[in-house]
Protein backbone atom coordinates (compact mmCIF):
# COMPACT_ATOMS: atom_id res chain seq x y z
CA UNK A 1 0.00 0.00 0.00
CA UNK A 2 2.90 2.38 0.70
CA UNK A 3 3.89 2.45 -2.97
CA UNK A 4 0.32 3.29 -4.01
CA UNK A 5 0.11 6.06 -1.40
CA UNK A 6 3.43 7.51 -2.58
CA UNK A 7 2.25 7.47 -6.21
CA UNK A 8 -0.86 9.47 -5.31
CA UNK A 9 1.12 11.89 -3.15
CA UNK A 10 3.45 12.49 -6.09
CA UNK A 11 0.38 13.44 -8.16
CA UNK A 12 -0.79 15.87 -5.45
CA UNK A 13 2.59 17.55 -4.90
CA UNK A 14 2.52 19.82 -8.00
CA UNK A 15 -0.70 21.47 -6.79
CA UNK A 16 0.84 22.17 -3.39
CA UNK A 17 4.09 23.37 -4.97
CA UNK A 18 2.27 26.08 -6.94
CA UNK A 19 1.39 27.75 -3.62
CA UNK A 20 4.83 27.25 -2.09
CA UNK A 21 3.89 24.15 -0.11
CA UNK A 22 4.80 20.49 -0.14
CA UNK A 23 3.96 17.20 1.55
CA UNK A 24 6.27 14.39 2.65
CA UNK A 25 5.17 10.83 3.38
CA UNK A 26 6.33 9.77 6.85
CA UNK A 27 4.60 6.43 7.40
CA UNK A 28 1.74 4.19 6.35
CA UNK A 29 0.56 2.08 9.29
CA UNK A 30 -0.85 -1.44 9.06
CA UNK A 31 -4.29 -0.13 10.07
CA UNK A 32 -4.51 2.33 7.15
CA UNK A 33 -3.35 5.57 8.75
CA UNK A 34 -1.16 7.68 6.49
CA UNK A 35 1.20 10.03 8.34
CA UNK A 36 2.50 13.02 6.41
CA UNK A 37 4.49 16.13 7.11
CA UNK A 38 3.29 19.38 5.57
CA UNK A 39 6.20 21.52 4.42
CA UNK A 40 6.82 25.02 3.13
CA UNK A 41 3.79 27.27 3.03
CA UNK A 42 1.55 24.32 3.97
CA UNK A 43 3.37 23.90 7.26
CA UNK A 44 1.98 27.09 8.76
CA UNK A 45 -0.99 27.95 6.54
CA UNK A 46 -4.31 28.50 8.34
CA UNK A 47 -5.97 26.36 5.64
CA UNK A 48 -3.61 23.42 6.13
CA UNK A 49 -6.23 21.34 7.95
CA UNK A 50 -8.61 21.73 5.01
CA UNK A 51 -5.81 20.86 2.58
CA UNK A 52 -4.99 17.78 4.64
CA UNK A 53 -8.55 16.47 5.06
CA UNK A 54 -10.44 17.70 1.98
CA UNK A 55 -7.52 17.42 -0.42
CA UNK A 56 -4.92 14.85 0.52
CA UNK A 57 -7.06 12.51 2.63
CA UNK A 58 -10.04 12.57 0.28
CA UNK A 59 -7.85 11.83 -2.75
CA UNK A 60 -5.98 9.02 -1.02
CA UNK A 61 -9.19 7.37 0.22
CA UNK A 62 -10.64 7.49 -3.30
CA UNK A 63 -7.57 6.08 -5.02
CA UNK A 64 -5.93 3.71 -2.52
CA UNK A 65 -8.02 0.94 -0.96
CA UNK A 66 -7.30 0.51 2.73
CA UNK A 67 -6.51 4.15 3.57
CA UNK A 68 -8.60 5.06 6.62
CA UNK A 69 -7.25 8.50 7.50
CA UNK A 70 -4.42 10.95 6.94
CA UNK A 71 -2.77 12.78 9.83
CA UNK A 72 -0.07 15.44 9.96
CA UNK A 73 2.91 14.75 12.19
**Cβ 45 vs Cβ 31: under 8 Å:** no
Bridge partners, 38 (sequence order): 23
Q: What angle do CA 51, 67, 13 make, to 5 degrees?
A: 40
Span 8-47, pLDDT tens digits: 999 999 999 998 999 999 999 999 999 999 998 888 888 8
For the 2-72 domain, the top CATH level (class) is alpha beta
- Strand, helix or coil for residue 70: strand
Cα dist. 42→5, 47, 54, 72 in Å?
19, 8, 14, 11
* Confidence check: pLDDT of 49 > 90: no
- Domain residue spans of the chain: 2-72
Amino acid sequence: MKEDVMAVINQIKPMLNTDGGDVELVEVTDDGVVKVKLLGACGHCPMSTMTLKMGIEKTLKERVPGVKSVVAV
